[in-house]
C-alpha cells in the first residue's frame, strides 16, 4: 500500500503571460467579513479571482468553439484555466472539465463511471460520511433495493482501508471516497483505499471539495471532483477531472465536447476566476494553512476548557487545517447558531434542527458523536486571529444562556 502519491505543494504556477490571459496580478489577500467562520460552506471571492473575472468578461465572452479572433481569445482563456487547474490537481489539462458546481461534478463523475462500467455491475461503494451530493449520486447509480455499500467510520470519522477493500466485489462498478470530511475535517486514507481499488480493478472517485487549494490532493484517483467557491473562486464552478484511460462516459445527452466543458456554454469568466483563485491560494497555502491550523488548535483546546459538557469531534491531528467541530450537550444547534449570528458570528451546524430535512447529520451519527448542539467552525483564509479570540470569548456565555433558557444548567 506504500504508494507515493504526495506531490509538491504548492504546484508551480502556470505562466499566464503570452497566452492573452489576464496576468495574475498581485491583487491583495483575502479579507473575509468579520466574524465569518463558515469557510467550509464557501469562501468569499478572492480578490485575484475578482480581477480575473472582470478581465474575462471583456476578453472571454465569445464561443470558444468558433474560429475568429474573439473566439480564439476565449479558447485561450479556457485552455489556460484548464491547464492551471490541472497543475493544481496534478493531472493533465485534457483531463479537466469545468462543471456548474461541485455537486454537478460529483454527480457526473459517479454517473459517468457507472455508465462506463455498466457491464461490470451496478454495485457501488463509498464511505458512510460522504457529502450528501455523493450519497445521492451513489444511490442513483445502483439498484434502489440494495442501495450503495457504505463503509462505516471510526469515532474520528475515518474509514478503515481494510474494511473499504473488503466491500469491493467483482460486480463493483465504482468506489467513492472524500479526501477529507466536510463536517469534522478528518482526512481520509485515500492512498490506501486507492491502492485497494486499483488492486481490485475498481475506479475510485475522490471528492476533494474540501482539500483542493488547502493541501496536496492524493494523486491516485480515477475521477476527482472539486468546487471552486471552497477555495475563493466564484460560485457555480465545479471541477471534474477524469484520468486518461478511465472508463467514464458523459451521462445524459451529448455530445461530450471533450475540451474542458460539459455540454452547454461554459461560464468562462467564472472558470478563469476559479483557476486564478486556485493559483493564488495554492501559492499562499503553506504559510496560511499553518496559521489557520494554529488557530483551529486554539479553538480545539479552549472550547472544552471554557464550556462545560462539550464533545469536540474529528481527528485532532490528521485533519484539514481550518475545520473544528464540537457538540454542546443539552442545547439545540439552531439556538446556538442564531445567538452567534446575533453577535456577528457565522458558523454552521450538523444538528437536525438546522437541516432542511430535520434529520441529524449522517456524519455525526456515523461517528457515534452527539448530534445536537453542534457547531462547525471553519476558518476562511485571511481570518483575523482577533475574530477567533472574540468567538472564544463569547461562546461560553452563549451556551450558558441557551442552557438556562432550556432549564438544563448543571444537568
Partner 1 sequence: MTLAVPGADLVVDARGLVCPRPVVELARALPTVPVGAVLAVVADDPAAAGDVPAWCRLRQQEYVGPRTTPDGPAFLVRRLS
Catalytic sites, residue numbers: 353
Measured distance CA(317)–CA(218) in Å, rounded: 18
Smallest distance, partner 1 to C-beta of residue 238, A: 30
Nearer to partner 1, 322 or 362 (CB): 362
Nearer to partner 1, 183 or 267 (CB): 183
Nearer to partner 1, 63 or 334 (CB): 334
Measured distance CA(405)–CA(407) in Å, rounded: 5
Pick from 93, 283, 353, 400 the residue near partner 1 by CB under 8 A: 353
Which among 45-53, 258-266, 376-384, 403-411 is the span making contact with partner 1, rule CB under 8 A?
403-411
Which positions from 148 through 177 interact with partner 1, judged by CB under 8 A?
none
Q: Max alpha carbon distance in the chain (Å)?
A: 73
What do you get for the CA distance between the two ends of the chain, in Å?
A: 48
Match 467513492 to its residue by C-alpha cell: 176
Smallest distance, partner 1 to C-beta of residue 350, A: 10
Sheet of strand 96-99: strand arrangement: 96-99, 238-242, 223-227, 204-207, 172-178, 123-127, 149-151
Smallest distance, partner 1 to C-beta of residue 371, A: 5
Match 470558444 to its residue by C-alpha cell: 64
User: Is residue 189 a contact point for partner 1 (CB under 8 A)?
Assistant: no
Grid cell in block for residue 199:
488492486
User: Is residue 364 a contact point for partner 1 (CB under 8 A)?
Assistant: yes
User: Is residue 287 a contact point for partner 1 (CB under 8 A)?
Assistant: no
Match 465569518 to its residue by C-alpha cell: 36
Match 480575473 to its residue by C-alpha cell: 52
User: Is residue 314 a contact point for partner 1 (CB under 8 A)?
Assistant: no
Which among 55-63, 261-269, 300-308, 348-356 is the span making contact with partner 1, rule CB under 8 A?
348-356
User: Is residue 290 a contact point for partner 1 (CB under 8 A)?
Assistant: no
Nearest residue to 132 via CA among 41, 70, 45, 54? 41
User: Is residue 365 a contact point for partner 1 (CB under 8 A)?
Assistant: yes
Pick from 93, 140, 330, 394 the residue near partner 1 by CB under 8 A: 330
Nearer to partner 1, 337 or 364 (CB): 364
Pick from 45, 74, 228, 369 the residue near partner 1 by CB under 8 A: 369
Q: What is the total count of residues that contact partner 1 (CB under 8 A)?
A: 22
Match 483542493 to its residue by C-alpha cell: 212
Measured distance CA(345)–CA(364) in Å, rounded: 23
β partners of residue 127: 151
User: Is residue 349 a contact point for partner 1 (CB under 8 A)?
Assistant: no
Pick from 360, 376, 395, 398 the residue near partner 1 by CB under 8 A: 360
Nearer to partner 1, 237 or 331 (CB): 331
In contact, 77 and 21? CB cutoff 8 Å: yes
In contact, 10 and 285? CB cutoff 8 Å: yes
Which among 41-49, 133-141, 227-235, 329-337 is the span making contact with partner 1, rule CB under 8 A?
329-337
User: Is residue 368 a contact point for partner 1 (CB under 8 A)?
Assistant: yes
Measured distance CA(373)–CA(147) in Å, rounded: 31
Residue 160 phi, psi dihedral angles, 5° rounding: -90, 120
Nearer to partner 1, 275 or 367 (CB): 367
Measured distance CA(49)–CA(53) in Å, rounded: 6
What is the chain's length? 411
Question: Using N-to-C axis directions, what is the helix angle for 47-59 and 69-89, rounded to 10°?
Answer: 150
Smallest distance, partner 1 to C-beta of residue 406, A: 7
Which among 64-72, 169-177, 298-306, 330-338 is the span making contact with partner 1, rule CB under 8 A?
330-338
How many other CB atoms are there within 10 angstroms of residue 120's CB atom?
Answer: 18
- CA quadruple 31, 34, 37, 39: dihedral sign: negative
Which among 137-145, 260-268, 276-284, 365-373 is the span making contact with partner 1, rule CB under 8 A?
365-373
Measured distance CA(229)–CA(219) in Å, rounded: 22
Smallest distance, partner 1 to C-beta of residue 332, A: 6
User: Is residue 251 a contact point for partner 1 (CB under 8 A)?
Assistant: no
Pick from 332, 345, 346, 383 the residue near partner 1 by CB under 8 A: 332
Residues that bind partner 1 (CB under 8 A): 311, 329-332, 351-353, 358-360, 364-365, 368-373, 406, 408, 411
Amino acid at each position: 500500500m506504500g504508494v507515493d502519491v504526495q506531490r509538491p505543494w504548492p504546484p508551480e504556477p502556470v505562466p499566464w503571460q503570452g497566452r492573452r490571459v489576464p496576468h495574475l496580478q498581485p491583487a491583495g489577500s483575502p479579507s473575509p467579513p468579520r466574524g465569518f467562520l463558515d469557510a467550509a460552506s464557501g469562501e468569499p471571492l478572492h480578490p485575484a479571482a475578482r480581477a480575473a473575472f472582470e478581465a474575462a468578461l471583456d476578453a472571454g465572452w465569445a464561443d470558444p468553439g468558433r474560429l475568429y479572433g474573439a473566439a480564439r481569445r476565449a479558447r485561450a482563456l479556457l485552455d489556460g484555466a484548464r491547464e492551471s487547474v490541472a497543475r493544481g490537481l496534478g493531472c493533465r489539462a485534457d483531463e479537466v472539465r469545468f462543471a456548474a458546481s461541485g455537486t454537478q461534478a460529483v454527480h457526473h463523475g459517479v454517473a459517468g463511471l457507472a455508465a462506463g462500467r455498466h457491464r461490470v455491475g451496478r454495485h457501488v461503494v463509498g464511505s458512510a460520511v460522504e457529502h450528501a451530493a455523493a450519497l445521492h449520486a451513489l444511490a442513483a447509480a445502483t439498484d434502489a433495493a440494495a442501495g450503495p455499500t457504505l463503509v462505516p467510520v471510526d469515532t474520528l470519522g475515518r474509514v478503515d482501508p481494510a474494511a473499504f477493500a473488503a466491500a469491493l466485489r467483482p460486480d463493483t462498478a465504482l468506489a467513492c471516497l472524500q479526501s477529507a470530511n466536510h463536517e469534522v475535517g478528518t482526512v481520509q486514507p485515500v492512498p490506501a483505499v486507492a491502492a485497494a481499488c486499483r488492486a481490485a480493478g475498481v475506479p475510485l472517485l475522490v471528492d476533494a471539495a474540501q482539500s483542493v487549494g488547502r493541501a496536496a490532493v492524493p494523486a491516485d484517483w480515477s475521477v476527482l471532483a472539486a468546487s471552486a467557491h471552497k477555495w475563493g473562486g466564484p460560485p457555480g464552478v465545479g471541477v471534474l477531472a477524469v484520468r486518461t484511460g478511465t472508463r467514464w462516459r458523459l451521462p445524459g445527452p451529448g455530445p461530450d465536447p471533450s475540451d474542458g466543458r460539459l455540454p452547454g456554454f461554459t461560464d468562462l469568466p467564472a472558470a478563469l476566476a476559479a483557476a486564478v483563485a486556485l493559483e493564488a491560494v495554492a501559492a499562499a497555502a503553506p504559510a496560511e494553512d499553518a496559521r489557520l491550523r494554529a488557530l483551529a488548535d486554539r479553538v480545539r483546546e479552549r472550547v472544552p476548557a471554557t464550556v462545560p459538557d462539550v464533545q469536540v469531534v474529528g481527528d485532532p491531528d490528521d485533519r484539514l487545517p481550518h475545520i473544528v467541530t464540537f457538540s454542546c450537550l443539552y442545547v439545540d444547534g439552531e439556538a446556538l447558531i442564531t445567538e452567534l449570528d446575533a453577535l456577528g458570528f457565522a458558523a454552521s451546524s450538523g444538528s437536525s434542527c438546522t437541516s432542511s430535512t430535520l434529520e441529524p447529520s449522517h456524519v455525526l451519527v456515523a461517528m457515534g458523536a452527539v448530534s445536537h448542539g453542534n457547531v462547525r467552525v471553519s476558518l476562511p483564509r485571511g481570518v483575523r486571529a482577533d475574530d477567533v479570540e472574540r468567538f472564544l470569548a463569547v461562546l461560553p456565555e452563549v451556551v450558558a444562556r441557551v442552557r438556562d433558557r432550556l432549564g438544563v444548567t448543571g444537568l
